[in-house]
Amino acid sequence: MTDNRLGSAVSPYLRQHADNPVDWREWVPEAFAEARERDVPVLVSVGYATCHWCHVMARESFSDPGIGELLRQDFVAVKVDREERPDVDASLMASASAFTQQLGWPLTTFLTPDGHVFFAGTYFPPSPVGQVPAFRQILAAVLDAWTERRHEVDANASAIAAAIRQGAEADRTARGGAGGDGDEPRLPSVDDVRAVVDQLAQAEDTTYGGFGGAPKFPSAPLLEFLSDVAADDARASALLERSLHAIRASELTDADGGVFRYATKRDWSVPHYERMLYDNAGVLAVAGAEQARGIADFLRDTLRRADGAFVAAQDSESTIDGRRVEGEWYRLPLDERGRLDPPPLDDQVLTGWNGLAIRGFAIAGARHGDAEMIALARGAADAIVAGHLTDGHVSVRSSTPRGASTAAPTIEDVGLLAEGLLELALVTGELPYADVARTLVDDGLAGRFDTDPVLAAAGTATGEQPQTAMRSGTVALAAAAATLAALTGDESYRGAAVSLVTDRAVTGTERPLGHADALGVALALQRPSREVVVVASDPDDPIRAAARGARRPGTVVATVTPAQATDWSTAGFTLFESRDGLDPAGYVCHDRVCALPARSVGELTAQLSAPDA
């Protein structure tokens, strides 16, 4: 008999496994206490609801009654949704890297009852394939090691855990600043950051576009770096446009405008068909008008809930003629899809991922003069603030129609949401978004995050790890802090931004294909700051449009009405002091020293294009 405990889970991924003949537990201390009492290893399987190979392994292995019985007798089996529990996923990924460099999902890990990984891999087939053993063989080998060579298992697990602890401590030390001498951590120089374009030019696939070989990802953080540099680097601009064109013109973009997670072939063909909110939100922030409009339509029509929030993803698989198949629905013409059920949605609403969407819509809406995009950003912001925040603080990381997850918020939630709300506030002039963002930044800088008790006891909590597919919460927190420094005049925010982003930016100069998201922030922190405030009562005043092109690293652009300027100033955003007297007017400041007010589009354009700008 099984006692599967996932039927009442909030996570859609966990619920997908509720009918498995496996005694699944969620990641809770009680699961490890049971393993300790029974003296058995813990199998932790990590995935997410729209993951194709997770579905495959579920059908092949976790639906097998024989494997279910084996796991029941000799293991404690734990299921983890990486979207719900990025802290657990990050820790297990760090440990799994000791066994394989081909990391991904499903992630299959074996832990001691103390929470230390002693073996790991990804997808294991039902029968051996080349050098990859069958899942049953893996289980047998793990049990043999557990019973016959326990001292080796414990020694290896302890060594890996010690390495994780040392790495996490080094990260904490780096984030804490330079120490007692008062010196600031050293950002990579502007020249070092710009030299990354040379590396990317060498890595470009000049035949098919993009970077590297197969598989090929949209790599939104990398595209955003190119966008940051493109304002005064023609090579970066050309690289960005070629990459965006390759994404737009290939099978990676569906007929409805949405972007798939990656292509399995170098020429961007044969997509991995799942569509993630974070990929689409990231590309939206840098895309041209037509491409951005397509992505916005997909997000609005497919991933948006009635309350305005966005769900996490759409599956790669759909059910056609009673069979689960990958990609078939997407390969149909748009006008034929309606006769079939679409691929299901991962209906989690994730705070951080919605922050990315808010940011993408706000940036794209301002750049392209698209009021609907800004309305979509506002709708998502209102839904998340109402449903996932309590008194201005993030209280919910993940929710579904079945309720709120008990998973604690992470720096991803706080940083990405803060950055998104600030972008929206600057575009709309609506102070409440900025007020909430300031609270979130203060929370993030104070490190108010709970550590999972299992990871805490094991000493293997890593904090947020660098990612290649989406903007890091740490980087977003740094960017939001830098923006607050410009808006409030409080330089402690800038110092905090430097501390947060320095190590990641240094790594980005060395390995930009995997660590590019910090580079634009590093560039902004080293350039003379520029603040642009446009005051106009008429939302269609052309002076507002004239400021849109001023956005670049190191520049903060805000558009407000005179009444809004008063509200911002009263709330402590000192950049807006005495900005309510002229209407319309544009103020261009360098390190908060401002030129005379520009009263026309021509005057503002001239100030924005001045050599020292």
Phi, psi of 484 (to 5 degrees): -60, -35
Report the alpha-carbon distance of residue 136 to residue 130 in Å, rounded: 15
Report the alpha-carbon distance of residue 62 to residue 123 in Å, rounded: 12
pLDDT, residue 528, reads 82
* Structure tokens, 407: 């998973």
Report the alpha-carbon distance of residue 523 to residue 525 in Å, rounded: 5
DSSP codes of every residue in 330-346:
HHS-HHHHTTSPPPPEE
* Structure tokens, 287: 């895309």
What is the pTM for the complete model shown? 0.96
pLDDT, residue 592, reads 81
Residues of the chain with pLDDT under 70: 1-2, 170-185, 611-613
Q: Are 494 and 488 in contact (CB under 8 A)?
A: no
Helices 473-488 and 519-526: crossing angle in degrees, nearest 10, is 20
Helix, strand or coil for residue 246? Answer: helix
For residue 24, the one-letter residue type is W
pLDDT, residue 180, reads 36
Report the alpha-carbon distance of residue 410 to residue 406 in Å, rounded: 12
